Structure 1
Amino acid sequence: MVLSFKPLTTATWHDFEALLGAYEGCKGCWCMHWRLSFPDWKKQQGEGNRRAMKACVDAGDVPGILAYAEGRPVAWCGCGPREWYPRLNKSQVARPVDDQEVLSVNVVTNAVQTIRNDCVESRAMKTTIRKAKAEDAPKLAELMNVAGEGIPAYLWERMADPGEDVMAFGARRVAGTESGFSYINAHVAECDGVIAGMLLGYRLPDPYETGPLDEIPAVVRSLVEMEALVPGSWYVNAVATDSACRGQGVGRMLMEEADRLAADSHATTLSLIVAEQNAAAHRLYEKLGYQVHARRPIVPFPGCPHTGDWLLMTKAKEPIS
């Protein structure tokens, strides 16, 4: 494998955004952690940090280096003059020991996994898809929460028994058969016996009855409203790839499985909902033929990584005759 390298500038910003966007900007950090006080960093976690990094690049800073393999960005190293990172001054292990000029390397991400895969013999080539099982519930709950931008854990926390671990409760819900989040509605991508990704989807009822909207939690009310706009469609409720397997085509493979399942169900439309600010996912869905059908404002909740709108995206699909 041959790597090439480019500095992060306005010319390569889209590559940086695509690379980190696939990892939710590294949980909303966008490499602003050491540049800001923790309260400021936390306050703008997500889109605010992305805009802040974009402003640094637009101002002429070169805050790091991108690595490329076969023309695509595969790794990122954040670095720059030490004075760019004032929080290092408070570190017990990395604070200055003299007044010498120092180039600080504050993060290296994605490179190890990509190099191990050699960018040629991808593990995705060995990946198979199967129906989920009840015993998959803990991993399914984890991936559903990733795909749901933290909303599942937010709701599970309010439903769990006092003192019960939120994700354990979520796994218990997934292991059941009553809710839409049940394992019976899920498929998993498996590589060498390890779950690499998850697809949760099913055909929406037609007609779609929302029931009293004021009884639905505010954070998901707009999602239910948009689901009701596409009755009878095959709904991709959630799709997520394990962090160790991203960049290997697992997500695309799962979306192709959604196409097959939709056709088997004789649905003529597929639908999904994505945050407009989730640029990487938005671009993937557009490449797969999805178009924006409707939008609703995101209702923020603690830890919500996005602001702006939810997008309902749809794609026409010919059913199997």
Structure 2
Amino acid sequence: MNSNPKLAAQSPQPRPPIELRAATPDDADVMAKLINLAGEGLPVYLWQDMIEGNETAWDVGRRRAQREEGGFSYRNTCLAIGDDQIMGAITAYGQPDAFEPVDPAEIPPLFVPILELENLAPGSWYINVLAVFPPFRDRGVGSFLVRAAESDARKAGKLSVSIIASDGNPGAVRLYERLGYTACASRKMVKEDWDNPGENWILLIKEL
């Protein structure tokens, strides 16, 4: 037993456990914020072209998060909860066993390299969004969420998990590599007017 009260006072206090909760349509606002954080501003850039009527770009993001279908849907999203707050989120789902060939003439140029990389991981469990709010970083939240996605992948009978990251975010790439993901391919980014320090999208895959 530590009898020194000064040392006891300096001992780090245990942090509350992280819990996982399925997202609901009511979480659309926080989901929009987190996907934009994960995408380093790319989602808001894209949502500006989807505005209907008097909507803002954020309204578009919330509307898309509330969809019953589609990759970015509350149905594919789980939230990390701690300190009675939403700390982060992960959106993941199964990819088809076969993809339609990417036709650059029919797809906005910005999406072409991303879709080409997705097509290299057919049948995988795809992590579309992984984001943690800044105050909760370096607390294991990202690792917790990735492991939760891997558990879902196993339950779904998937043999691998895939994720696409920007080389402009080396911290994220290091996290995935530390968790056992391997960089398998890359494609040069198409940015248009989107400002980002990255040059390439990287496909990382982990065999389960």
TM-score, structure 2 normalization: 0.89
Counting only pairs closer than 5 Å after superposition, residues 134-153 of structure 1 correspond to structure 2 as: 134-153=25-44
Partner of 1:55: none
Q: 1:251 aligns with which of 112, 131, 142?
A: 142
Q: For each residue in 1:217-243, what CA deviation from the matched residue of structure 2 results, as whole angstroms up to 9, or x when unmatched? A: 211211111101111000011100012
Shift of residue 176, structure 1, vs aligned partner: 1.2
Counting only pairs closer than 5 Å after superposition, residues 280-295 of structure 1 correspond to structure 2 as: 280-295=171-186
Indicate if the aligned counterparts of 1:132 and 1:183 stay in contact, CA closer than 8 A: yes
- Whether 1:209 and 2:92 are equivalent positions in the alignment is no
Shift of residue 162, structure 1, vs aligned partner: 4.5
Partner of 1:101: none
- Whether 1:161 and 2:45 are equivalent positions in the alignment is no
**CA 1:245–1:119 in structure 2 vs 1: closer, same or farther (change >3 Å)?**
farther
Identity between Structure 1 and Structure 2 (%) = 36
Deviation beyond 3 Å, 4+ runs, structure 1? 118-123, 210-213
Q: For each residue in 1:121-171, what CA deviation from the matched residue of structure 2 results, as whole angstroms up to 9, or x when unmatched? A: 354x42200111110011001101111222211111100125421112110
Partner of 1:40: none
- Whether 1:179 and 2:70 are equivalent positions in the alignment is yes
Indicate the RMSD between aligned Cα atoms, in angstroms: 1.8
CA distance in 1, matches of 2:43, 2:104: 18
Indicate if the aligned counterparts of 1:141 and 1:174 stay in contact, CA closer than 8 A: yes
Q: Flag structure 2 segments of 5+ consecutive residues without an equivalent.
A: 1-9
Partner of 1:121: 13
**CA 1:192–1:165 in structure 2 vs 1: closer, same or farther (change >3 Å)?**
same
Shift of residue 174, structure 1, vs aligned partner: 0.5
Q: For each residue in 1:245-288, what CA deviation from the matched residue of structure 2 results, as whole angstroms up to 9, or x when unmatched? A: 11211111101111111111111111000111211111111111
Indicate if the aligned counterparts of 1:300 and 1:307 stay in contact, CA closer than 8 A: no
Partner of 1:312: 203
Indicate if the aligned counterparts of 2:38 and 2:129 stay in contact, CA closer than 8 A: yes
SS at match of 1:180: coil
- Whether 1:237 and 2:119 are equivalent positions in the alignment is no
CA distance in 2, matches of 1:134, 1:149: 23
Counting only pairs closer than 5 Å after superposition, residues 10-29 of structure 1 correspond to structure 2 as: none
CA distance in 2, matches of 1:297, 1:203: 25
Equivalenced residue count is 199
Shift of residue 119, structure 1, vs aligned partner: 9.1
Q: Flag structure 1 segments of 5+ consecutive residues without an equivalent.
A: 1-117
Partner of 1:78: none
CA distance in 2, matches of 1:119, 1:181: 42
**CA 1:253–1:160 in structure 2 vs 1: closer, same or farther (change >3 Å)?**
same
Indicate if the aligned counterparts of 2:102 and 2:116 stay in contact, CA closer than 8 A: no
Partner of 1:221: 112
Indicate if the aligned counterparts of 1:203 and 1:234 stay in contact, CA closer than 8 A: yes
Indicate if the aligned counterparts of 2:66 and 2:73 stay in contact, CA closer than 8 A: yes
Partner of 1:133: 24
Indicate if the aligned counterparts of 2:130 and 2:142 stay in contact, CA closer than 8 A: yes
Shift of residue 211, structure 1, vs aligned partner: 5.5
SS at match of 2:206: strand
Shift of residue 192, structure 1, vs aligned partner: 3.7
Amino acid corresponding to residue 168 of structure 2 in structure 1: Q
Q: Which has the higher contact order (CA 8 A, sep 6+)?
A: 2
SS at match of 2:203: strand
